């Protein structure tokens, strides 16, 4: 009887173990089925066909070119007038003054090459009642510079500039009877200056540059050979000659910057040192501050300080304040 029960229990255990094994195998099969991934490229992919077609471009686009030139033109006119009645108790004198200016600048920049040309023309006259007319301004200045870029801020440059005046210049005095007299001391190309220079230019921004002209030549022209009679220094040109040549070292710095809203500062300093006369160095400083009132009206103050022992042993200076019409053409 005991054997019978033992055999029965053994069969039950075998059935349980077999059922459990089948269940475990089934569960493993389901998990493996869940872990199956789609085969690579098993999903169909529709790839559109790419067709390259030429697109016609209008002729206007084909003719378009890059403009490497930047141009600017400024024209200004200043007029000052004063009139008094004969019985004006405060005193005064009738006067009329007219001043004109033209400033043209062009800039060409392409790659490492640069060319800048600037033309400045200024002329003004003053007439007081009972006096001879006088000039208030008179200048011709034309500067040309070509540069080749060496690094981010340094250029090798060559420049040529010309400077003279339009009209005759006089000194004024009175004779023994109180009448005014004038004496001619200068006029066009007496003097005139032509300067050629090459060297290195430092230009960290559009607002500032510094030129160091290690090789500079300047020709001073006095075409009126009789001018020495009223101007003994004759601008450094020997009597009887019409020009003088000098070899020198030159430094030129220029600032053109908006220092506030509608206010611009322009400053140019030039040093000229003749290699044969290094103890006689010429200096010139031009400073102009202009304020824009509106599109047409402009207020400006200008000052010049000059030392050149070929014209005077002392520092020369001039100053002007003007209110007038200024129009700018920009390209």
Whether residues 14 and 105 fall in one domain: no
Strand partners, 213: 250
Contacts of 144 (CB under 8 A, 6+ apart): 115, 116, 117, 159, 160, 161
Distance CA 153, CA 204 (A): 5
pLDDT of residue 79: 85
pLDDT tens sequence across 172-196: 988 777 788 999 999 999 999 999 9
Whether residues 26 and 125 fall in one domain: no
Whether residues 33 and 133 fall in one domain: no
**How large is the average pLDDT for residues 313-318?**
94
Whether residues 13 and 106 fall in one domain: no
In-domain check, residue 148: yes
Percent of the chain with pLDDT over 90: 63
Each residue of 4-19: b (16+ CB within 10 Å) or e? eeeeeeeeeeeeeeee
Q: Which residue has the tokens 């001018």?
A: 227
In-domain check, residue 44: no
Tally: H helices and E strands in the chain: 2, 14
In-domain check, residue 53: no
262 phi-psi bin (left φ>0, alpha ψ -120 to 50, beta other): left
In-domain check, residue 133: yes
Whether residues 264 and 309 fall in one domain: yes
Tokens of 312: 């005077």
Assign residue 235 the CATH number of its domain: 2.40.230
pLDDT of residue 1: 54
In-domain check, residue 56: no
Whether residues 110 and 243 fall in one domain: yes
Whether residues 32 and 173 fall in one domain: no
Are 134 and 318 contacting, i.e. CB atoms less than 8 angstroms apart? no
**How large is the average pLDDT for residues 58-68?**
71
Residue 17 has pLDDT above 90, yes or no: no
CA distances in angstroms from 249 to 143, 213, 242, 281, listed in the order given: 17, 6, 23, 10
Distance CA 134, CA 107 (A): 36
In-domain check, residue 234: yes
Whether residues 35 and 163 fall in one domain: no
In-domain check, residue 46: no
Whether residues 315 and 198 fall in one domain: yes
Whether residues 144 and 220 fall in one domain: yes
Contacts of 167 (CB under 8 A, 6+ apart): 123, 135, 138, 187, 188
pLDDT of residue 57: 66
Q: How confident is the model at residue 54 (pLDDT cuts 50, 70, 90)?
A: confident
Its domain, for residue 180, covers: 63-330
Residue 72 burial by Cβ neighbours in a 10 Å radius (0-12, 13-18, 19+): middle
pLDDT of residue 148: 97
Residue 297 has pLDDT above 80, yes or no: yes
**10 Å Cβ neighbour count for 248?**
22
Contacts of 241 (CB under 8 A, 6+ apart): 222, 225
**How large is the average pLDDT for residues 212-229?**
96
In-domain check, residue 55: no
Residue 36 has pLDDT above 90, yes or no: no
Are 253 and 210 contacting, i.e. CB atoms less than 8 angstroms apart? yes
Residue 167 has pLDDT above 60, yes or no: yes
Whether residues 234 and 322 fall in one domain: yes
Distance CA 140, CA 305 (A): 17
CA nearest 212: which of 253, 163, 152, 245? 253
Length of the chain measured in residues: 331
Whether residues 200 and 280 fall in one domain: yes
How many domains is the chain built from? 2
CA nearest 161: which of 100, 112, 116? 116
């Amino acid at each position: 009887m005991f054997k019978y029960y033992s055999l029965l229990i053994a069969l039950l255990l075998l059935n349980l173990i077999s059922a459990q094994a089948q269940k475990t195998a089934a569960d493993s099969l389901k998990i493996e089925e869940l872990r199956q991934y789609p085969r690579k490229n098993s999903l169909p992919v529709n790839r559109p066909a790419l067709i390259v077609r030429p697109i016609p471009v209008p002729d206007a686009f084909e003719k378009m070119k890059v403009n490497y030139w930047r141009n600017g033109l400024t024209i200004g006119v200043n007029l000052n007038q004063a009139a008094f009645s004969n019985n004006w108790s405060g005193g005064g004198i009738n006067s009329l003054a007219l001043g004109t200016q033209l400033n043209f600048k062009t800039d060409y920049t392409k790659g490492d090459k640069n060319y800048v040309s600037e033309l400045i023309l200024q002329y003004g006259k003053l007439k007081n009642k009972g006096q001879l007319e006088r000039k208030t301004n008179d200048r011709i200045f034309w500067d040309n510079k070509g540069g080749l870029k060496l690094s981010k801020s340094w250029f090798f440059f060559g420049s040529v500039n010309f400077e003279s005046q339009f009209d005759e210049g006089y000194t004024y005095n009175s004779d023994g009877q109180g009448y005014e007299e004038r004496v001619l001391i200068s006029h066009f190309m007496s003097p005139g200056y032509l300067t050629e220079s090459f060297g290195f230019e430092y230009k960290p921004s559009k607002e500032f540059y510094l030129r160091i002209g290690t090789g500079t030549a300047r020709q001073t022209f006095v075409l009126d050979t009789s001018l020495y009679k009223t101007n003994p220094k004759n601008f450094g040109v020997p009597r009887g000659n019409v020009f003088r040549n000098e070899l020198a070292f030159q430094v030129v710095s220029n600032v053109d910057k908006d220092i506030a809203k509608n206010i611009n500062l322009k400053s140019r300093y030039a040093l000229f040192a003749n290699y044969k006369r290094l103890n006689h160095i010429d200096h010139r400083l031009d400073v102009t501050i202009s304020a824009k009132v509106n599109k047409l009206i402009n207020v400006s103050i200008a000052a010049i300080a000059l030392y050149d022992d070929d014209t005077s042993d002392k520092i020369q200076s001039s100053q002007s304040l003007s209110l007038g019409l200024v129009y700018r053409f920009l390209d």
